[in-house]
Amino acid sequence: MSYNNIISKENNGITTITINRPKKLNALNRETIQELHEAFSEADSDIDTKVIIVTGSGEKAFVAGADISEFSDFDVNQGTELASKGQELLFNFVENLSTPVIAAVNGFALGGGLELAMAAHFRVASHNAKLGLPEVSLGVIPGYGGTQRLPQLVGKGRAMEMIMTGGMIDANQALSYGLVNYVTTQDELLPLCEKIGVKISKNSTVAISAAIRAINANFKDGVDGFNVEIQEFGNCFGTDDFEEGTTAFLQKRKADFPGR
């Protein structure tokens, strides 16, 4: 598919989705959110794609936030719909995708940008990354899952401080908080994400999808994550990947997983 605001390319089992609005510091408007939904959906359906990397174009920003000009005159109902539709189309959608998603955070990840990065399954940052949720400085709160995912990742107290102050933290602070897994140079950011992606792609895509569902279940109200793990574990025994993985182990060879 062709897009106006993003670029999506698959290479050796890794699809890289790049938000390409450099003049707007890759800010998220409604069209970009819709295009991201379509690109993630397309990559998730592609049997050749084992891992998805999402990043921003240029050297300044991953995503510097939402496009404020689109909603500055919204009323209560419109604001509620904006958050609801955005979470459904993109942020919750990415979190629950069956294909692993790595956020390569190059530069500013603010507001909706940090919320997108947090919706990914984990994050890698460049040295110049700045991360924050500055929404309270605009008289509003994070609306794309930021108040929920940030405490899950960094703890309640740190999340409260970050959201209340609206301040930014740098890459090393994000690493110490557990908000990102690695910090590297800008030049090495995508190569490192690709290296991790290759490691992931050698394993069972069926099992990885089951692991994503089981891990996410622990963060859903009213859901017993242990029971989900038991069910997903049991389901694995009925897959071709389980048969290949165990057979390869017993035969002392590398597994060649048939995948989804």
Which residue is catalytic, options 42, 70, 81, 135?
135
Q: Is-catalytic flag, 88?
A: no
Which residue is catalytic, options 35, 95, 115, 194?
115
Residue 73: phi and psi, rounded to 5, are -110, 15
Under 8 Å between Cβ of 114 and 128: no
Distances (CA, A) of 149 to 120, 160, 163: 11, 12, 12
Tokens of 206: 């069926």
| Helix runs in the chain, H state only | 30-45, 76-86, 92-95, 112-119, 146-154, 156-165, 171-177, 186-201, 205-217, 225-236, 240-250
Under 8 Å between Cβ of 13 and 196: no
- Determine the Cα–Cα distance for residues 223 and 34; give it in Å rounded to an integer: 29
- Determine the Cα–Cα distance for residues 156 and 147; give it in Å rounded to an integer: 10
Can you name the residues that pair with 192 across neighbouring β-strands?
none
Q: Is-catalytic flag, 194?
A: no
- Determine the Cα–Cα distance for residues 184 and 192; give it in Å rounded to an integer: 8
Q: Write the DSSP assignment of 131-154 as a string of letters.
A: EE--GGGGT----SSHHHHHHHHH
Please give the positions annotated as active site: 115, 135
